[in-house]
Structure 1
């Protein structure tokens, strides 16, 4: 598949963007913009979603959000610089730079949270939203993580508790205990896929955004997002929405239930024998479900004479 990369100016920063074009474009198939997680985890671990370009005949856009990956980094920025509003603005800037008039959005983990933040503003170009493995509030996320953590072996829980209390979360024993949680609830493919490893390595090399907004790890949340919620704003989402989760996901059912309960046009799908990285654990099945949903809302757009549908670019 043809792949083009470019740097898009954003404020005094630059956003790295990758555009994958189908070799057999389907008429009316709208572009898909993929939002990665973290915050600060870069796009590498979701790059297999580029396969949707040829599988569904559409353009697929990935980008590294500022502060990570191949985009501009700001390790010395104040804590309040890193906010959901920053990343909503960056998304709008990318869409405008690419000239996308109508498009789908798929967000994974933090990317789904960001996708919801975008959707509540009701952008005119948003044809559909896929929220994958994401919570509707960080309070619900932490409660879910605590429940999963209580199911870990006693020695693992003890190591986690001891090092968090002592402030020694960089100790090898703590990192080993963290890995037990990750292999149960984050990515059940062992050893982890190279795409996942690549994302982890880049975050560990420059953890500013992840540590500032999230915290030490997936279940010890101390960052600026710890009070984040979109629950009370979900009624503002006008776009048709797909909510995806895994059976063993760290995003437990309670965390994503508000999306299903409060978004007017919504459906959900839980993948058995999958966790947080459903798209890596069951890639073909995941893309098949997403592909059907996207095509359905390509067609909905085609049937609306008031909406102009651009050809895939």
Structure 2
């Protein structure tokens, strides 16, 4: 820890920020740390400290450069030492959409802005750019790999035993079957964590009023994924009427898109996302003692169960009914950590 602090001090001094006041910021579920750097003149920047720069900082810089070029707002990286995982970026302030909503802001304009920014991304993302950057492709194989975290991190906790190899293999098979038609549809940059915690309200015009953060894990994948990420938030309830209105707003921007196909894709990708989130929240609670995430489990299960009732997810629903009987979903009790 002392050596890391020394590296940070050297980095800040090299950027002329030795006299900046440092204030730690609340983190997320990742290993990254952030600090607000306030200079004597009152202006501020953000220090990014990550232990995995090749997976984190390097793609953030590369993807952010493209997003900025196509007219979306991202924190510009002003200086970086990618080898050490340190960077200085713009400070977008404290007006996350989540905080504004918690303070009573009208949800409709914020969700409309977020939807419009997503529309702009899908209209403007350059063909071949993801391949040039070497971004991962979210195809059925990658989605299935991610859903298997549920088999490995959640099921053993609630069943008090590991899944059999057959049950685990069956889970992969049913997910692959429902994902293949979805992944054959429209594709663009997939931000992965597109929700109100990762959107900032900025004093700018048009879609640039939405500040995008936390996109270092982006890849190429189905366009419906980020829309469902926004409208089926694991941490806050989004009224059904608002979700329908924003889906319609998105569809209006793409008149050749089949509305029924989009909604099927949103259901399948939403189920994939919620399945993985359930596993992540339980793992964070047990492995790191971050039990606050468990408060969101009933909401995530409610969203997941709603999708599992749809006919296109029948194979996955059958697996859940067989392998996770009543009492092993939202109403189970996570053991206390030691």
Relative to the length of structure 1, the TM-score reads 0.27
Larger Rg: 2
Relative contact order (C-alpha < 8 Å, sep 6+): which is higher? 1
Relative to the length of structure 2, the TM-score reads 0.26
Higher strand share: 1
